[in-house]
Amino acid sequence: MKYSISVLFGLILACLGASFYPVQACTRLVYIGPQDTVLTGRSMDFSIDIPANLWIFPRGMQRSGQVGPNSISWRSKYGSIAASSWDIATPDGMNEKGLVANLLWLVASEYPKFEYHGDKPGLTIAAWAQYALDNFATVEQAVAFFRKETFAIVSDFIPGTDKFTTVHLSLSDATGDSAIFEYIGGKLVIHHDKTYQVMTNDPPYEQQLAVKSYWDSVSGQAFLPGTARASDRLVRAWYYLNMIPQTSDAKIAVASVFSIVRNVSVPYGIGTADQPHLSNTRWRVVADQRNLVYYFENVLSPNVVWVDFRNIDFRESAQVKKLNLDAGQIYAGESSASFVNAKPFDFKGLELEN
């Protein structure tokens, strides 16, 4: 496979650790096994605490793009379970059709200019993943729609920080299909292929494929890169994804995928003199897309919590429900009965102009 000079330069930066900017570290992988077994696992790594709660959203929810009068609006077609960030965004979730959405940091992201009163409506980046969960059953449907670019993705600073939100979106579905959506230089770039099973936060996905291409020629049994850098995590995740058992046994498959996610996690609390705010893994998710079970693990809790969709009421008349996990609450095992009725959170968007 041939790559342009710019891609190779990006590959060099990735292999050097991309030390020119603060490290935000997340990893996502898709396991495809026998008998339609598909699971997506991810780590949420961040340089500051990013408390999460679990939410159950039924069908028929009326939503807004949250960017002022020029916002899109929609009514959710599918119910979903989502992990929130600060109860202002959905960075991760799975809908009742087995579509999984993950947001990962990407420093190189540059979104199109949004006109507050322009012709093209907007959607807050905080609801980008939720929009996909609400509207699509498959990756193919999402790719066909997003290619039309009928609205703009609108980003902003994380409240109370100097961090401007720069993320890319990955989608996977119950067939094992995958797509990664990135905004590079203000242009939407879509990578769509069932073989795109592993991604990290940085660099842009085209350069990640270049990193993988190089390491494909190196035996993982002889040497694997071991740092927390994105390129190293990418290589380890690909290697172990090809090494774990091919099985339709959900218990084994979930354990295997969690093992990889933990292997590419960043130890909690670490830092160095030149990177005092090095991203640490805050929580992990494994979504079983065949059996529709969503597993969540907070690194500060000794237990894994999971929700079996068979126990969830997604009907339009159903209540929004919430499982509070952001203050150290402890749950274990199947926890759908512990969710309580709640008012849905508001997605962080742009402040209204006077």
Q: Which residue type is seen at 265?
A: S
CB 290 within 8 Å of CB 309: no
160: left (phi over 0), alpha (psi -120 to 50) or beta: left
Distances (CA, A) of 346 to 18, 55, 350: 35, 13, 12
How far apart (Å, rounded) are the C-alpha atoms in residues 18 and 144? 33
The torsion of the CA quartet 294, 312, 345, 333, rounded to 10 degrees, works out to -40
For residue 344 the two structure tokens come to: 């849905």
How far apart (Å, rounded) are the C-alpha atoms in residues 321 and 80? 11
Please report where in the chains the tokens 């242009």 appear, as a residue: 187
**Structural element, H or E, at residue 103:** strand 100-105
31: left (phi over 0), alpha (psi -120 to 50) or beta: beta
Residue 15 falls in the annotated catalytic set: no
Of 11, 18, 26, 179, the active-site residue reads: 26
User: What are the catalytic residues?
Assistant: 26
